[in-house]
Chains A and B, each alone.
Chain A
Amino acid sequence: MHAKKVVKGDLRVYFCIFSLFTTALCPKFHVHLASLLVFSTLSAHAAGLRNYTAVLKLPLTFFLPSALVLTLLPVGGGGVCEGVLLSLGPLCVTKAGLNLALRTSLRAFASFSVLCYLILTTSVVEVFAALRRFRIPRFIVELVVFIYRIIQILLEELERLERAADARLGFRSRRTMLKTVSLLAFSLFVSGMRRVEKMEQALNARCYAGEIPFRAEESRGWLVVLPVVSLLLLGCLSPCSLVFP
Chain B
Amino acid sequence: MQKDLKHGLRLTDDEYERKIIELHRALPPMSTTEQDKEVRRAELNLAIDHHLGRDFPPKRREALWAIQQRVEKRRLRLAFKYFLRRFLAKRVAQEAQGLAGYMVDEYAKVLNEDELESFFGLQKGERPVLPVDIDQLKK
Are A and B subunits of one complex?
no
Which B residues are closer than 8 A to A by beta carbons? Answer: none
